[in-house]
Amino acid sequence: MSKDSFEPAPRVVVFLTYLGYGILMLFGYFRDFLRKSGVETTHSAIERKNMKDFVPLYQSFESFYKRNIYMRLRDCLNRPICSVPSAEFDISERVSDDGNWHLRLTGKTRRCVNLGSYNYLGFAENKGPCADAAAEALQQYGAGVCSTRQELGNYKIHEELEETTARFLGVEDAVTFGMGFATNSMNIPALMGGKGCLILSDELNHASLVLGARLCSTVIKVFKHNDIEDVERKLREAIINGQPRRQRAWRKILIIVEGIYSMEGSIIKLPDFIRLKKKYGAYLYLDEAHSVGALGETGRGVTEYWGVDPRDVDIMMGTFTKSFGAAGGYIAGSKRLINHLRAYSHSTTYACSMSAPVAQQVISSMKIIMGEDGTNRGQLRIKQLAANSKYFRQRLVEMGFMVYGNDDSPIVPLLMYMVPKIAAFSREMYEQNVGVVVVGYPATPLTETRARFCLSAAHTREMLDKVLDDISDVGDRLQLKYSLNSPVKAVSAEECYSQVDSLEHKA
C-alpha cells in the first residue's frame, strides 16, 4: 500500500502566486473602471436606467472574480465534445472576438488524446459487446422508463442489475438509482432523518455528500482530510459530551468518507476507519465513486485494495459513471438496509428509475470485469489501468513536477499554483492535441490550482509517452517543475507493464 504524498509548495512559489492574484485584482479594478466610464463595452448584466433608485439587483462586486479572472480563461472550460470520450476524442474548436464573453464554433473539430474523462476501465465505447447488448436492451425496453421504482418502473433488468452489483461487491444486496449525485443527496436523508444524529464528514467530501448531509436535520462535524487522530478526537468528544443542549446520547453517528478523493487523488485509510467505527459504535458510509472498478486486484474497489471484508463497511455507495461507462449509482449493504432504502429513499419514491440500455451497459461491463464472459478482458483492463497509473505518475515525478495523491490512484493532479499558468497549460496542451482538465480557485484552495489527469485502461503506453513528452515540454516553457525532492526511480516502466504483457500473451 503506497502512502499519499502532499509536498508543500516552495515559499517563493506561494509568494509569487499571491503576487499574481494581487496584480490580477489591480487590473480587474482598472478594467472595471474602464467599463464603468464607458471606454470598454460591458458584457455582463447591468441595471436598467429607470431602476436606478431601487435596491440593486446585481451586486457587481460579487461577480468581480467571474468578470475579471474566470471569463479570461473560460475557453479552457466547457469544451464541446463531439465523439465518444474514449482514449481519443473530438473537440469542437471555438473562437472568441471579445475576450471569451462570446464563444462561437468554427465548425472544425480536433482529435485529441483524452486525459480528462472518468473512463478508468475504458468502457466508454460505442462498439463492442457492451454497446451491442445496450442496443439490444434499447430495442427491447425502449429508451425511457416512464415511472418511478415504486410504481411501474421496476423492470426485470433493474433487479438483474442489483443482483449483479451485490455479487460484484461481495455484499448481501444493492439498490440502484438513475443518477450518481442523487444517490448521495437523496439517500443520506433517508438514513439519518431523525433528530439526535451526528454526521462526521471529511473536509474534502464531494458536493453530493455535503448536500445529502445538509438535507437531514443532523449536526455535521467536519474532520481534517484522511486524519484518523482528528476523527477519533471528534468521536470521543461527541460521545462524551452528547447532543449540544440536552447532553443526551446521540442516536447514531455516521462517518462519511470517499474511496478516492477526486481532486487530490488520495486513497482513504480504510482499515483505520473500520477499527475506529467498531471501537466507538459508529456507522461508516463509503462513497466509492472513483474507486470501484479502479482499485484492487479484481477491480472490487477500495475494500479489496486494503484486504478488508466488504461487510465491515455498513453502507457502500458507488457510481456507474466512472468505471462502467454508464450513468447512475448504487448503494450496497445488508438486506435490512437495502429494504429500508427501497421503501424510504426519495429517489425510489419520486425519481424515475434508470434507463434500460444504461442498466444493460452496467451489467455487461460488470460481467466482463468479473470474468463471467469467459475471457480475461476484464482482468486485462484492470491491469492496464494499474500499470498506466503507476507509470504516468512515476514519469511525472521523475520529471520534477509537483504531483499529489497516492501512487496507486488513477487520478493524477499536477500542481501549477499560479492562475495564469492553468490557462496557458490548457491551451498549450490543446495545441499539442491533448485535452486536459484544469481547475482553479474557488474549486481548489487559493494557491493550489492544478491540472487533473484521469488515466484510463484505454490509453496505450505509446499514447502516454507522447503525452508525457508534451507535458515535459510545456512544463519547461511554463516553469512548472517545482518539486524540490530529488527524482526517485522506484519502479521501471518494464516492471509496470510486465503484468499487462503476461496477460496479453495469455489472451
Partner 1 sequence: MDRTQPKGLPTRVPVGTMGDGGTTYSGVNPNAVWLNSRGIWLSYVIAVTILHLVLLSIPFLNVAQAWTLTNVVHNIGNYIFLHMLKGTPWETNWDQGKSRLLTHWEQIDFGEQFTTTRKFLFLAPVILFILASFYTKYDPLHFIINLSTMLLVLIPKLPQLHGVRIFGINKY
Among 37, 41, 78, 486, binds partner 1 (CB under 8 A): 78
CB of 245 to partner 1, least distance (A): 14
CA distances from 300 to 75, 110, 366, 440, 481 (A): 37, 36, 10, 32, 35
- Which one of residues 6, 7, 14, 172 is an interface residue with partner 1 (CB under 8 A)? 14
- Smallest distance, Å, CB 248 to partner 1? 19
Q: Which of 79, 149, 158, 206 binds partner 1 (CB under 8 A)?
A: 206
DSSP secondary structure of 248-289: PPPSEEEEEEESB-TTT--B--HHHHHHHHHHHT-EEEEE-T
- Residue among 6, 64, 101, 344 that touches partner 1 (CB under 8 A): 64
Closest distance between partner 1 and the C-beta of residue 406, in Å? 17
Of the candidates 70, 101, 344, 482, which one interacts with partner 1 according to CB under 8 A?
Answer: 70
The correct pick among 61, 107, 127, 488 for binding partner 1 (CB under 8 A) is 61
**CB of 172 closer than 8 Å to CB of 302:** no
User: Pairing between strand 329-333 and 173-177?
Assistant: antiparallel
Nearest to 317 by CA among 417, 208, 422: 208
Q: Which stretch binds partner 1 (CB under 8 A): 164-172, 188-196, 212-220, 483-491?
A: 212-220
Instruction: Tell me which residue of 111, 107, 108 sits closest to 86, measured CA to CA.
Output: 111
Rounded least distance, CB 440 to partner 1, Å: 6
Listed in sequence order, the residues at least 6 apart from 420 whose beta carbon sits closer than 8 Å to its beta carbon are: 20, 24
Least spacing, CB of residue 420 vs partner 1, in Å: 15
How would you class 423 by CB atoms within 10 Å of its CB: exposed for 0-12, middle for 13-18, buried for 19 or more? buried
Nearer of residues 185 and 388 to partner 1, judged by Cβ? 185
Judged by CB under 8 A, the stretch of 117-125, 311-319, 345-353, 442-450 that binds partner 1 is 442-450
**Nearest-approach distance from CB 443 to partner 1, in angstroms:** 5
Please return the burial class of 98, using the count of CB atoms within 10 Å of its CB with bins 0-12, 13-18 and 19+.
Answer: exposed
d(CA 447, CA 15) in angstroms, rounded, equals 9
CB of 207 to partner 1, least distance (A): 4
Report in angstroms how near the CB of residue 423 gets to partner 1 at its nearest. Answer: 11
Select from 123-131, 203-211, 309-317, 477-485 the region that touches partner 1 (CB under 8 A): 203-211
Give 72's contacts (C-beta < 8 A, 6+ positions apart): 99, 100, 423
**Distance in angstroms (rounded) separating the CA atoms of residues 190 and 234:** 24
Instruction: Report the residue from 211, 228, 276, 327 that binds partner 1 according to the rule CB under 8 A.
Output: 211
SS (H, E, C) 300-332: CCHHHHHCCCHHHCCEEEEECCCCCCCCCEEEE
Question: Which member of 22, 80, 194, 281 binds partner 1 (CB under 8 A)?
Answer: 22
Rounded to a whole number of angstroms, the distance between the first and last alpha carbons of the chain is 28
Residue 262 main-chain phi, psi, to 5 deg: -75, -20
Residue whose CB is less far from partner 1, 167 or 224: 224
Tell me, residue by residue from 248 to 287, as one string, x for binding to partner 1 by CB under 8 A and - for no binding.
Answer: --------------xx------------------------
- C-alpha to C-alpha distances, 59 to 23, 56, 62, 63, nearest whole angstrom: 22, 7, 5, 7
Q: In whole angstroms, give the CA distance from residue 166 to residue 47.
A: 56
For residue 94, list its beta bridge partners: 105
What does each C-alpha distance from 306 to 109, 300, 366 come to in angstroms?
43, 11, 21
Name the minimum Å distance from CB 319 to partner 1. Answer: 15
Count residues binding partner 1 (CB under 8 A).
46
* CB nearer to partner 1: pick between 446 and 478: 446
Which H or E run contains 33? Answer: helix 11-36
Q: Considering only the stretches 6-14, 136-144, 356-364, 376-384, report the one whose residues sit in contact with partner 1 under the rule CB under 8 A.
A: 6-14
Give least dist CB 59 to partner 1, A: 6
Q: Among residues 263 and 369, whose Cβ is nearest to partner 1?
A: 263
When binding is defined by CB under 8 A, the residue of 2, 18, 26, 34 that contacts partner 1 is 18
The answer to whether 57 contacts partner 1 (rule: CB under 8 A) is no
x/- map, 378-417, partner 1, by CB under 8 A: ----------------------------------------
Give dist(CA 384, CA 464) in Å, integer. 12
**Minimum distance, C-beta of residue 258 to partner 1, in the bound complex (Å):** 11
Closer to partner 1 by CB, 60 or 334: give it: 60
Cβ neighbours, 10 Å, residue 33: 11
Give me the residues that bind partner 1 (CB under 8 A), please: 8-9, 11, 14-15, 18-19, 22, 25, 59, 61-66, 70, 77-78, 203-207, 210-211, 214, 219-222, 224, 234, 262-263, 437-447
